[in-house]
Amino acid sequence: MKLILSTRVVLLAAILGGLVATAEARIMIQNKGSDTLVNVAQAWAEAYQKIRPDVAVAVTGGGSGTGIAAMINGTVDLANSSRSMKDKELHEARKNGISPIEHLVGYDALAIFVHKDNPMQSITMQQLAEIYGDEGKLTKWSQLGLTVPGCKWDQIIVVSRQNNSGTYLYFQEAILGERRDFRLGTKDMHGSKDVVDLVEKTPCAIGYSGLAYDSPHVKRPPVARNDQTAPVEANMENAVSRLYPIARPLFMYTKGEPVGEVKAYLEWIKSDAGQCIIHDKGYAPMRPVKCVKR
């Protein structure tokens, strides 16, 4: 999937490059990083092309770490990241004489998905930790007081992501914390959509994925921070207001204060026009914006 995507991105970059080559001036902005952000980044680049035909934004995925590393090495102007830079990365950047600047561009909410026949009303973060965590106590649906139709064996099938995806790392950070690992034996899917697809077909399953990957064929129970607080529906408004507990900020990084065309591009991304694009792609904008429904 990623391969196909990046091929498409490269092709697109080539086509855009060809278009721009015919224009008089040709300004290239290199943009690389998080796979979570790659679809949005591409949509931004395409829309920006219409406003500023003399500027071409080349978008590639590869993961937050890859993008940040490329920014540190000076090969890209903008790094997309679904997490803050790690201390190690900041240290490396300073060693190269770069002081990266973080720009918030929106939020990604991780929704919990169960089969549509699952009677679950809500789930707490502690329960999620016991389902997903190493030596966690919850392995059967009956322990949550649920009888899931179609799940005769009562066993919770835990669906997760491959261990270096940004979504996996964020879920670990938000639910399990740094000191706890995932349990062994989770089904590690290779894409955000694969998680939802598997949960849709498997009555016993529970999974997590970006809100953007929501589908009418699965159920999305509200999540509570703990037993005392009320469960919060996973949706755009609650992600923007930070009420929903499993939402993460999405960043773009520049090496130092942005200048010139990069600065103009970032300002456009943060404007209503740019924020409506991220909203259209299923993520939460950085602030509430009014967008025309398309």
Partner 1 sequence: MEPGDATRLDARDSRWYIDKGFEIVMFLCGISAIVFVVGIFLFVFREGLGFILHDMDVGEFFFSPKWRPTSLHHPTYGILAMVAGTAAVTVLAMAICLPFSIGAAIYIAEFATGRTRETLKILIEFLAAIPSVVWGFIALSIMNPLIITLFDVPMGLGVLNSALILALMAAPIVTSIAEDAFKAVPDSYREAAEALGATRWQTIYKVVLPAARNGLLSAGLLGVGRGFGETMAVLMASGHSINLPTSVFDSFRALTATIAAELGETPVGSSHYQSLFAIGIFLFFITFIINMTADFVVRGVRKG
List interacting residues with partner 1 (CB under 8 A).
2, 35, 62-63, 65-66, 69, 151-153, 155, 157, 162-165, 168-169, 172, 178-179, 181-182, 184-190, 201-205
Smallest distance, Å, CB 133 to partner 1? 12
Nearest to 118 by CA among 146, 139, 160: 146
| Shorter beta-carbon distance to partner 1: residue 70 or 112 | 70
Pairing between strand 223-224 and 123-124? parallel
What gap in Å lies between CA 259 and CA 256, rounded to an integer?
9
| Shorter beta-carbon distance to partner 1: residue 8 or 242 | 8
Nearest to 63 by CA among 163, 210, 162, 166: 166
Smallest distance, Å, CB 179 to partner 1? 6
| Shorter beta-carbon distance to partner 1: residue 9 or 204 | 204
* Cβ atoms 72, 38 nearer than 8 A: no
Smallest distance, Å, CB 268 to partner 1? 29
Smallest distance, Å, CB 202 to partner 1? 6
| Shorter beta-carbon distance to partner 1: residue 67 or 274 | 67
* Cβ atoms 218, 199 nearer than 8 A: yes
Query: How many alpha carbons lie under 13 Å from residue 179 in its C-beta half-sphere?
Result: 0
